[in-house]
Structure 1
Amino acid sequence: MANQFMTSSEDKEFARLQYDLAMSTKKISQEEFSHAARWIMASVLAINSGGLIAALGAAQSLDARMGFSIAAFYLGVLTAMTMGWMAITNNQRSFPYHSRWAGVWQLAAVNGELDEEEMKAAHAAMIKFSGSLFPYQRLGWVSFALFSVGLVFFSLSLSGN
Structure 2
Amino acid sequence: MTSTFLLTILLMIGLFFFIRGSIKDRTEIVTIACQDNQDNILSYLRDYFQTRSYKVISIEPETNKVSLEGLVSPSVFLTVFLSLLAGSGLFCFALVLSMLFSTETYLFIWLVIFSPLAGFFYWKGARKVEKVVFRLDENNQSTDTLITIQAHRDELIQLQTNFPFNYSVKE
Whose helix fraction is larger, Structure 1's or Structure 2's? Answer: 1
TM-score range, shorter chain: 0.3 to 0.5
Whose strand fraction is larger, Structure 1's or Structure 2's? Answer: 2
What's the TM-score, normalizing by structure 2? 0.31
What's the TM-score, normalizing by structure 1? 0.33
